[in-house]
Amino acid sequence: MNNTYRTIWISDLHLGSTQCQADILLDFLKFNDSEKLYLVGDIIDFWSLSKKMYWPREHNTVIQKILRKARHNTQVIYVPGNHDENVREYDNYVFGDIIVKNSEIHTTANGKRFLVVHGDEYDTIAKYHQWIAKLGSSGYDFLLEINRFLRVIRRFLGIQSHFSLAAFIKFKVKNIVQFISDYEESIVNTLKNEGVDGVICGHIHHAEIKDIGGFLYVNTGDFVESCTAIVEHFSGELELISWQKLQDATIPDPLEASPTL
């Protein structure tokens, strides 16, 4: 039985990269429905695609699944990030029932107003020193490639776990922990007087819901390491969820086979 929410936010899918956990993402999209779905940036990884063409069938299926949701009463809003920044040129355009918004104000059922942005706008390295960001991205991709190998071994052994070597190293390195803290504070300090109750973003692959001085900082996480999303219940309450596959990918989805959808 599917979970149904008022709103779902997902980000940092990195389709077009070997790091995307498309199987878990597809499982999440299958078992979770919402009236509104926000794609909060780095949905397609054009940085990776510019280095080598990688687009397996599962990545195509993700796009089809999202388009199908958009055609069937889910309002889908695409907020581009730095890895898909070329999409920002199409602010307010509609593609296949999906609207592109460089930022958006979302009002929850209990009246809270949140700015929805990818978040790279508040990362000084990503904004002003893109070559450093790309160099760091390459190192991060290397760690994720090792993690991908470890993930295959864990699945072979029947171990379900979202352990991430990259995340483990991130939170053991003092400078990176400080970067995350600085990033959170940069967003909050910039936006706390802008007439919103909080911000919902992605970008740094660290999912969290945190009250900082009465301002709610919400990060969706990613689908390359932690496989997390933010959901809004019909009461307006926000929840961070970490997704584990519910269905084996070898079992066909009857909706996938339907030519009428």
Mean pLDDT of each 10-residue bin along the chain, 261 residues long: 94 94 96 98 93 94 97 96 94 95 98 96 57 46 58 61 52 53 84 94 93 95 94 98 72 37 31
- Residue 60 CA to residue 119 CA, distance in Å, equals 26
The pLDDT of residue 19: 85
The pLDDT of residue 93: 96
The pLDDT of residue 185: 84
The pLDDT of residue 255: 39
Across the strands, what pairs with 117?
Answer: none
| Cβ-defined contacts of 233-237 (< 8 Å, 24+) | 233/5, 233/6, 233/109, 234/5, 234/6, 234/109, 235/109, 235/110, 236/6, 236/108, 236/109, 236/110, 236/111, 236/112, 237/110
The pLDDT of residue 228: 97
pTM over 0.85: no
